[in-house]
Structure 1
Amino acid sequence: MKILGYLTRDILLHTVAVSFTLLVIIFSGRFVKYLAEAAVGNIAADILLPVMLFRLPGFLELILPLGLFLGILMAYGRLYVESEMVVLSACGVSPSRLAAYTLVPALVIMALVALLSLLIAPLGAAQSSALLDDPAKSQGLQNLAAGRFQTRSGSNLVSYAQTIAPETGIMQSVFLSQRARSSDGRPELMVTFAAEGEIVINPDTGARYLELRDGYRYQGLPGRPDYQVAYFETFGELIPEPEGGIRSAARVDGKPTVELLASSAIADVAALHWRLSLPVTVPIVAIIALCLSRTDHRRGRYIKMAPAFALYLLYLVLLANARSVMEESGGSPFVLWRVHLLFLALALSLLYGSGVWRKLRFRLANRSRHAAA
């Protein structure tokens, strides 16, 4: 029990340290990226930090398995370099027993990841989506400021609203101007006037639309007589979201797990098996890390860090691709689970492969000696 407590404490301390470092790096990078969106008006600045905090469990469910993986590599790498593993082996601690000891902290992390993946992260995603979809926090085409002309980032669109109701986000006296090209390639100008407008969110897809009411659209080249005038009672235009932006996360991530269990939609089934598969990765990567941590004093404790990290990234990439295949082609969930089976086989081969190969060579050598005698 003392050995188990010693190994468990060492692994968990390294896991917490690595996970905290990774969390600070990833959280800071995402915060700076989303802060740029707030700077150009894609989201309200005052909800940026609450939205990031609500999405924190979604970061942790991916960071903790990686933190455990690197924590085992660092903890056991130190034990190998300082010859403590040699002492444990001489005291009768076999690879199987060491794997059993390693699975104890892995099961703790697995339970935490399962709690995050199945319960806490969906709640956080739903809360962040509710904040982003709040009309009072998403005013106008790009959080328009009343009485100011604004230019949308990455386009030639100029927008203006005379007044904006803070409770509903409804804009009065809306003006839009955008440079574009006609079907024959000629430059032209599109100018839109509307009595009022507001942001409308599709409840199924989460896409945002600018809906204008009671207005006119003028399209053509200034100074030329061949321009078009169109009157509309209602006019809607999709508001494109920046790639990788804060609203780009799929709406299915905010659905409760119970709702996914009762759904037969392809996206919901893929999301459900993705949530179930995240905890399964923890014991698998723990065994792989145990096997890859073997080193000695000459090679050092960090010699296998880079290839081990590349192997972990390959694991995650294959899982993400399997989920994409399920969503796009409606494939069986086995597409996702066969990735786990592949890496489970790899973990077992790394753990027992050398021992099986030694026994096989020993038996072949004995048979050769008996045959020669």
Structure 2
Amino acid sequence: MILRRYMTRQVISTTLIVLMFLMVLMLGGRLIRYFGMAAEGRLNIGFLFSIIGYNMPTFLELILPLSFFVALMLVLGRMYVDNEMSVLFSSGQSRGRITRLMLPLILVLFLVEAGVSLWAKPYGVAQTEKIWQTQSLSSAFDMVKPQTFISSGDYHFYVGSVDKDKRELNDIYIIQQSPNNLTQDVIITAKKAQQVLTNNNAPFTRLDLYNGRRYEVDNASRQYNQTSFEQYRISMAKPQTDEITEENITSQPTVKLLNNLNKPEAQAELGYRLSLPFLMIIACMLATPLAQVQPRQGRWLRLLPAILIFVACAVSIISLKTNISKQKLSVWSYAWFISFAMLACLWLNVQQQVLHHFRYRKAKPINSLNGGV
């Protein structure tokens, strides 16, 4: 009981330290990017910390298993270097016994990782997408800058000036790119534009243009048609979130994926979410043998190669997701890979005992013969 508390406390504290370090490292680059977007007017500063908060589960999904693995390598490596493992082994303890001491902690982290993968990350991604959608023209009046281009789907806007209340845009130039690679583009100019208030759940964002011209340009012949108007309304379709597609699959709830298992994208995403918690078990089974070092070697000797091996396991799961979504592999590839990884880790844990057993049995007849002589 004392040994279990000691190891659990050491692993938890080291995991939190490594997790905080990796989180700061990951968030640093993302914050620089978001602050740059806010400075350019492409992101409302009020949404900045909301986006960071909703992105936290995305970071935790892979950082948490890696932090747990690094913590195990550091704690077990120190115990080998300080000869604590030698004392435990001489008192009758084994690798399997030491691993079983951490089963409660592994179970808790398994459930935490499952919660992040199955619920927290999809919810965070969905909320982040909603925030980014509000950065389209439906809310761009709050952050638009004069003489700046704004992109929203197939539309690209140039705004000459804005009134002080940011309720009206002046000197508008709009380029509507042709969908599906057609050969015709549309250019619209207007003296002013006003946003049409609609329900937030409406599938379209509408904008009224006044006193302008509309040009239909044929990209092949360079000919165009010109039309003048006093008032012209354009509608921009919002991204479709109800239908599961390759673009929005990560934001779909797990329950919705279960109801659409006939789609390869849903199968790949669901298998990916169910496979990630098993990285906690693989981390423990892999760290126990790889952390073994001689006292004079130092606990940092095997840390980098072990991290590369563990990262290779995580990358393999990600690559399986890509290949399964493209129907190159079966969804059962997740189960085969997890089983293979666990068997390989199990062999690393018992190989010394197995090899020692075979050597002992091979040497036993020779010793018996010598005794008879």
Aligned to 1:24: 24
User: 2:241 corresponds to which residue?
Assistant: none
Indicate how the Cα distance of structure 1 residues 170 and 4 shifts in structure 2: closer, same or farther if over 3 A, else same: farther
Q: In structure 1, what residue type is equivalent to 2:224?
A: Q
Q: What is aligned with 1:273?
A: 271
Partner of 1:300: 298
Q: Deviations over 1:182-220 (max 9, x none)?
A: xxxxxxx99542575989xxxxxxxx9999989523759
What's the CA shift for 1:305?
A: 0.9
Shift of 1:26: 0.8
User: Which residue of structure 2 lines up, in the alignment, with residue 193 of structure 1?
Assistant: 189
* Aligned 8 A contact 1:110 1:279 in 2: yes
Q: 1:86 Cα deviation (Å)?
A: 0.7
The separation in 1 between residues aligned to 2:188 and 2:142, in whole angstroms, is: 16
Instruction: Name the residue aligned to 2:86.
Output: 86
RMSD over aligned Cα, in angstroms? 4.0
The one-letter code sitting in structure 2 at the alignment partner of 1:30 is R
With structure 1 as the length reference, what TM-score do the two structures score?
0.77
For structure 1, which runs of at least 5 residues remain unmatched after alignment? Answer: 179-188, 200-207, 240-248
Q: Deviations over 1:231-285 (max 9, x none)?
A: 598888999xxxxxxxxx9422222211111112221221111111111111111
What is the distance in 2 between the residues matched to 1:43 and 1:94?
56
Alignment CA distance shift 1:79-1:356 (3 Å) = same
Instruction: Identify which of 343, 347, 362 aligns with 1:345.
Output: 343
Structure 2 matches for 1:229-240, cutoff 5 A? 229=225
The residue number in structure 2 matching 1:10 is 10
Matches within 5 A, 1:281-360: 281-329=279-327, 331-360=329-358
Could you tell me whether the CA contact under 8 Å between 2:73 and 2:290 is conserved in 1? yes
Q: 1:297 to 1:326 in 2, by over 3 A?
A: same
Say which SS state the counterpart of residue 55 (structure 1) adopts: helix
1:1-373 equivalences in 2 (<5 Å): 1-134=1-134, 137-139=135-137, 148-151=146-149, 159-160=158-159, 174-176=172-174, 192-193=188-189, 215-217=213-215, 228-229=224-225, 250-264=247-261, 265-329=263-327, 331-369=329-367
CA 1:146 to 1:352, structure 2 compared with 1: closer, same or farther past 3 Å? closer
**Residues of 2 paired with 1:161 and 1:337: CA distance?**
58
The whole-number CA distance in structure 2 between the counterparts of 1:66 and 1:315 is 11
Alpha-carbon distance between aligned partners in 2 of 1:92 and 1:356, rounded to the nearest angstrom: 18
Q: Distance in 2 between matches of 1:81 and 1:147?
A: 61
* 2: CA distance, partners of 1:108 / 1:347: 21
Compute the displacement of 1:92 (Å): 0.8
**How far 1:73 sits from its partner (Å)?**
0.4
Distance in 1 separating the partners of 2:303 and 2:141: 46
Residue 69 of structure 1 contacts residue 285 of structure 1 at CA under 8 Å; is this kept in 2?
yes
User: How far is 1:340 from its partner?
Assistant: 1.5
User: Which shifted more, 29-38 or 7-16?
Assistant: 29-38
Per-residue CA shift, 1:21-67, capped at 9, x if unaligned? Answer: 11111112222223333333443332121011012122112111011
Q: Does the 8 Å CA contact 2:172/2:193 hold for their aligned counterparts?
A: yes
Distance in 2 of aligned mates of 1:307 and 1:238 = 50
Q: Which portions of structure 1, spanning 4 or more consecutive aligned residues, are displaced by more than 4 angstroms?
A: 140-147, 161-164, 169-173, 194-199, 208-215, 218-221, 230-239, 368-373
What SS class does the counterpart of residue 175 from structure 1 fall into? strand
- Give the structure-2-normalised TM-score: 0.77
Residues matched between the structures, number: 340
